[in-house]
């Protein structure tokens, strides 16, 4: 078989696997949004069965033969070509997959399905002991996964690399520390400044919130014919397949901003997914996200750099006031200050921009200790409370507001949390570059014209898929190596605008 035939066969196999993965994604979405309570045990078996099929396809020895026929051929001569990127990334995926026994892959999938349901119930009942056995199982399986994958530094590196290729504990720990210290400095600088006035009190009826979310998501560019918005315990976004991006949020009638910014955040994810998963590249690495941090950069950019800006509220406030008359007396400046204010709190997903990254530091340090076996599962609640007090200055009153608040560990996603802060960094880098490329960007946002920004992101990031590794992708888009500098500048400038420091 010549290289071109091998490549075509390779992509056909990859696309067929993507169709199966789409069904798996739909099962997972349904479990979090619509599944009847009595169906969870059966759903775990269904997810396990499809996972086994996908794993066998990912480990098929024929893949190795097709890849070998492509490597070193004319298809890889230009390293920046889509063909070369597909071959390189499919090799990475194959080499990882063949290291993981099918029994381990299925066990992880089933444990994640059962663990997520156990977490939902445990969080609702504030019952850590009910979730602890599931967490222990997921940790044990994740350590096994790290060992079979292999690593040069430590086990956590192997897990982190699955979410963020090339990143290690040694690489992300200093970045997280820099962001934690920057947050500490900003909090100290605004400590004596009067806080902005809060938004008017509710109620903000859920029906009105849903109507407003439909308006803002469509205005940002999310096509209604290719998406839907639902309610779930933990807001998320998932791509089922081409033209099918699902997002969720949750409503609080006392505070419309929770659902609002949650939906904008998930819209950023969905726009990215739809931007690289078109028919031409679907089912291949060129039709997939570069990494979890790059994915997060898109959601955080729309949520923070755009939707928490003054120009955005110059456009959005009249629309919001149509749904909620109590906002009619507000000015865009007042809303900007209110939604950008710093309010140290216990809940990560409700955290403001300044205190968000310390939340990631808290989780990173704890999950690292769990993987290293420096921290026992039984001791997690106490360790969480101690570290929360040390890092956030707050101690949770119960585990539902502490170590049970996030879904990630219930699905075995150890190594995921650092990608949130890396995503914040990439978002700030990209928005700075977008402002240089679109000189009238602020005026466009104030007019509700988000198309130029979406188009720039589409060309610079979305359409690239996995053409480049994350840091290289952001560097190519911005013209400079990504650092925490733009994010720290953004946070300081916002604090200065809101608090007058």
Could you please report the per-residue DSSP string of 413-437?
-TT-THHHHHHHHHHHHHHHHHHHH
With 0-12 / 13-18 / 19 or more C-beta atoms within 10 angstroms meaning exposed / middle / buried, residue 481 is exposed
Quick one: tokens of 394? 């707050």
Residue 355 lies in a domain: yes
Looking at the annotation, which residues are catalytic?
Answer: 266
Has residue 81 been placed in a domain?
yes
Average pLDDT, the chain: 96
Q: Is the pTM of this model over 0.85?
A: yes
- Determine, yes or no, domain membership for 150: no
**Are 39 and 90 in the same domain?**
yes
How far is it, in rounded angstroms, from Cα 223 to Cα 226? 5
Examine the domain organization and report whether 458 and 414 are in the same domain: yes
Work out the percent of the chain whose per-residue pLDDT is above 90.
97
Task: Assess if residue 146 is contained within a domain.
Answer: no
The domain of 329 spans 171-499
Which pLDDT value is given to residue 461?
98
For residue 294, the tally of other CB atoms under 10 A from its CB is 29
Cis peptide before 353 (omega within 30 of 0): no
Q: Residue 1 has what pLDDT?
A: 85
Do residue 267 and residue 375 come from a single domain? yes
Q: How far apart are CA 444 and CA 415, in angstroms?
A: 37
Distance CA 198, CA 212 (A): 20
In this predicted structure, what is the pLDDT of residue 233?
81
Cβ-Cβ contacts under 8 Å for 19 (sequence gap 6 or more): 241, 283
Count up the domains in the chain and report the number.
2
Tokens coding 34:
């619509």
- Determine the pLDDT at residue 234: 78
262 with 389, same domain? yes
Give pLDDT < 50 ranges for the chain: none
Same domain, 283 and 420: yes
Maximal CA-CA distance, the chain: 72
Residue 447 Cα to chain centre, angstroms: 28
With tokens 């291949």, the residue in question is 284
155 part of a folded domain: no
Task: Enumerate long-range contacts of 69-73, CB under 8 Å, 24 or more apart.
Answer: 69/1, 69/2, 69/3, 69/6, 70/3, 70/6, 70/7, 70/10, 73/3
180 shares its domain with 310: yes
Q: Does 102 share its domain with 181?
A: no
CA distances from residue 1 to 61, 66, 97, 124, 230 in whole angstroms, order as listed: 15, 8, 24, 57, 47
Query: Are residue 89 and residue 211 in the same domain, yes or no?
Result: no
**Which CATH number is 409's domain given?**
1.10.1370.30
Same structural domain for residues 22 and 112?
yes
In a domain, residue 152? The reply is no
- pLDDT at position 70 is 98
The predicted structure's pLDDT at residue 279: 85
User: Looking at the domain assignment, is residue 409 inside a domain?
Assistant: yes
DSSP state of 463: G
Residues 102 and 190 in one domain: no
pLDDT at residue 349, as a whole number? 86
Could you give the strand order of the β-sheet that contains 244-249, starting from the edge strand earlier in sequence? 227-231, 244-249, 237-241
Do 127 and 267 lie in a common domain?
Answer: no
What is the model's pLDDT at position 121? Answer: 96
Q: Where are the beta strands (DSSP E) in 273-390?
A: none
Q: Does 148 reside within a domain?
A: no
Contact 341, 126 (CB under 8 A): no
Closest CA to 453 of 465, 439, 441, 463: 441
Same domain, 49 and 188: no
3-state DSSP of 5-72:
HHHHHHHHHHHHHHHHHHHHHHHHHHHHHCCCHHHHHHHHHHHHHHHHHHHHHHCCHHHHHHHHHHCC
Helix (H, G, I), strand (E, B) or coil at 316: helix
């Amino acid at each position: 078989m010549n290289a071109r035939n091998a490549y075509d066969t390779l992509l056909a196999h990859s696309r067929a696997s993507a169709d199966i993965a789409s069904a798996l994604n739909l099962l997972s979405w349904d479990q979090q949004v619509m599944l009847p309570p009595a169906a969870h045990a059966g759903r775990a078996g269904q997810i396990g069965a499809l996972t086994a099929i996908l794993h066998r396809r990912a480990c098929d020895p024929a893949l190795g033969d097709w890849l070998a026929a492509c490597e070193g051929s004319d298809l890889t001569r230009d390293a920046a070509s889509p063909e070369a990127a597909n071959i390189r990334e499919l090799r990475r995926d194959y080499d990882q997959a063949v290291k993981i026994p099918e029994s381990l892959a299925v066990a992880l999938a089933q444990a994640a399905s059962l663990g997520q349901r156990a977490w939902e119930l445990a969080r609702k009942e504030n019952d850590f002991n009910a979730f602890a056995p599931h967490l222990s199982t997921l940790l044990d399986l994740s350590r096994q996964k790290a060992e079979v994958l292999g690593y040069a530094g430590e086990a956590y590196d192997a897990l982190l690399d699955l979410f963020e290729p090339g990143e290690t504990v040694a690489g992300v720990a200093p970045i997280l520390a820099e962001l934690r210290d920057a947050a500490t400095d900003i909090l100290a600088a605004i400590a004596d400044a009067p806080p902005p006035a809060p938004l008017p009190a509710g109620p903000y009826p859920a029906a009105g919130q849903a109507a407003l979310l439909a308006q803002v998501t469509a205005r940002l560019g999310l096509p209604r014919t290719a998406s839907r918005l639902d309610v779930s315990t933990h807001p998320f976004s998932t791509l089922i397949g081409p033209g099918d991006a699902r997002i969720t949020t949750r409503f609080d009638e006392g505070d419309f901003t929770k659902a609002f910014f949650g939906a904008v955040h998930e819209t950023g994810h969905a726009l990215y997914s739809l931007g690289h998963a078109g028919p031409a590249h679907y089912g291949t690495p060129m039709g997939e996200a570069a990494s979890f941090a790059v994915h997060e950069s898109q959601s955080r950019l729309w949520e923070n750099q755009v939707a928490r800006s003054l120009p955005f509220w110059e456009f959005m406030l009249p629309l919001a006031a149509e749904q909620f008359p109590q906002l009619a007396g507000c000015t865009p400046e007042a809303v900007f200050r209110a939604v950008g204010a710093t309010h140290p709190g216990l809940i990560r997903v409700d955290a403001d921009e300044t205190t968000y990254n310390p939340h990631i530091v808290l989780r990173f340090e704890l999950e690292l200790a769990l993987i290293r076996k420096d921290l026992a599962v039984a001791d997690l609640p106490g360790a969480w409370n101690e570290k929360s007090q040390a890092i956030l200055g707050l101690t949770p009153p119960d585990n539902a507001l502490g170590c049970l608040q996030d879904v990630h560990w219930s699905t075995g996603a150890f190594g995921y949390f650092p990608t949130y802060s890396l995503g914040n960094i990439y978002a700030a880098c990209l928005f700075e570059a977008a402002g240089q490329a679109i000189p009238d960007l602020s005026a466009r946002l104030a007019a509700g014209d988000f198309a130029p920004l979406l188009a720039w992101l589409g060309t610079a990031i979305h359409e690239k898929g996995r053409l480049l590794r994350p840091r290289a992708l952001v560097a190519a888009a911005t013209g400079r190596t990504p650092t925490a500098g733009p994010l720290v500048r953004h946070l300081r400038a916002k604090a200065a605008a809101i608090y007058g420091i």
